[in-house]
Amino acid sequence: MAPLIISVFAVSFISAVLAGGLAVSKVVFFSYGLCKIKINDKKELTVQGGQTLLSALTAEKFFIPSACGGKATCGLCKVKVINGAGEPLPTEEPFLSKEEIKDNIRLSCQIKIRNDISIQIPEYLFNIKEYTARVADMRDLTYDIKQFRLELISPAEIAYTPGQYIQLYVPPYPESEGEIYRAYSISSDPAEKKAIELVIRFVPGGICTTWCFKYLRPGDEVKFNGPYGEFHLSNTDTPMIFIAGGSGMAPMKCLLHQMVNTNNQRKCVYFFGGNTEKDLFYLELMKDFESRLPNFKFVPVVSGPQAGWSGQTGLVTEAVTRQFNDLKGWEGYLCGSPGLINACIKILTERGIPKEYIYYDSFA
């Protein structure tokens, strides 16, 4: 009996020593104390070390775009590191081009703060705010796309550049594991400052869209931050070709409202693609834009037309190539899935639009 008691005691003692050692080494090696984050040489935050740069910035209400909640799957939370962050991790590499790595661009969700760090971000991110709003209206645009109208509570007004997007906060709910944010382009008339509208397509199994379509109700309060993004009309008179599919309509609609508000006379042809007529929406509104903008033309395209359809058929890219051999001197504006964006960039560059004049938001 005595040897058994001694061995139990010995094992417990060794385990206690190991656990204690681990706890001490955790404190000694992993507690980084307070660290400073210097932003654009004009703002300094003091934060607890050991957390990620993205978490630290978000906790200080300093918002960097991020859609995946820090899992290194969206690649949106890029910042330029001046010093203090070591080498990029393998998790970051799929999202960084060779030029970006050379330029010290990093994913802020993958940088652990171990010491003072100095970063550079686009100036517009200093104006990002967190908003609360009430869902004033939800309406079906198609069988899988809804328009959401959010009336602002606080701050009471929002200013943004047409084409920009916000990040909608999704709280934990029965079918999701934790809180997340997702990006949605503002679709409403930018003249309106007290509300924004979003055009959201339901993604089967998607965390945010399931919440929006199944759980969100008119009258509910929501939270978002923004505005983000650099997709906007250039300040030129160059003719423009817009191409979008599905909810890619959202920022295009906002740009068209802006063109009406500013009496913009630029030539603009907008190709909008869907599988069938059931995927088309805002057709009356597009007619209205055509009547208000003398040089605007809307071209709906369906790949699987039903009897009676007299418009363009095929893929939206095929409709563009049928109509245009040469687009030299034009600008391209694209919005939709990464597949659509890549296919459009290919045909537009082949027809003479340099890549730097093709602007897009990829709904990745």
**Positions that interact with ligand FAD (CB under 6 A):** 67, 165, 182-185, 199-201, 203-209, 229, 247, 250, 361, 363-364
8 Å CB contact between 222 and 167: no
CB 173, min distance to ligand FAD, A: 12
Q: Which residue, 142 or 247, is less far from ligand FAD as judged by CB?
A: 247
Q: Shortest gap between Cβ of 162 and ligand FAD (angstroms)?
A: 13
**Nearer Cβ to ligand FAD (200/233):** 200
Complex with ligand FAD: residue 171 or 311, whichever CB lies closer: 171
Nearest CB to ligand FAD, comparing residues 47 and 67: 67
Task: Tell how strand 268-274 and strand 296-302 pair up.
Answer: parallel
Residue 99 Cβ vs ligand FAD, minimum distance, rounded to whole Å: 21
Name the minimum Å distance from CB 357 to ligand FAD. 20
Q: How far is the CB of 239 from ligand FAD (least distance, A)?
A: 25
| CB nearer ligand FAD, residue 95 or residue 184 | 184
Nearer to ligand FAD, 33 or 178 (CB): 178
Least spacing, CB of residue 208 vs ligand FAD, in Å: 3
Alpha carbon distance 63, 58 (integer Å): 5
Identify which of residues 55 and 247 has a Cβ nearer to ligand FAD in the complex: 247
For every residue of the chain, which 3-state class applies, written as one string? Answer: CHHHHHHHHHHHHHHHHHHHHHHHHHHHHHCCCEEEEEECCCEEEEEECCCEHHHHHHHCCCCCCCCCCCCCCCCCCEEEEEECCCCCCCCCHHHCCHHHHHCCEEEHHHCECCCCEEEECCHHHHHCEEEEEEEEEEEECCCCEEEEEEEEEECCCCCCCCCCEEEEEECCCCCCCCCEEEEEEECCCCCCCCEEEEEEECCCCCHHHHHHHHHCCCCCEEEEEEEECCCCCCCCCCCEEEEEEHHHHHHHHHHHHHHHHCCCCCCEEEEEEECCHHHCCCHHHHHHHHHHCCCEEEEEEECCCCCCCCCEECCHHHHHHHHCCCCCCCEEEEEECHHHHHHHHHHHHHCCCCHHHEEEEECC
Give least dist CB 176 to ligand FAD, A. Answer: 8
CB of 148 to ligand FAD, least distance (A): 10
Query: What is the nearest approach in angstroms of ligand FAD to the Cβ of residue 254?
Result: 10
Phi, psi of 275 (to 5 degrees): -75, -50
| Residue (117 or 198) nearer to ligand FAD, CB | 198
Rounded Cα distance between 364 and 352, Å, is: 26
Closer to ligand FAD by Cβ: residue 8 or 364: 364
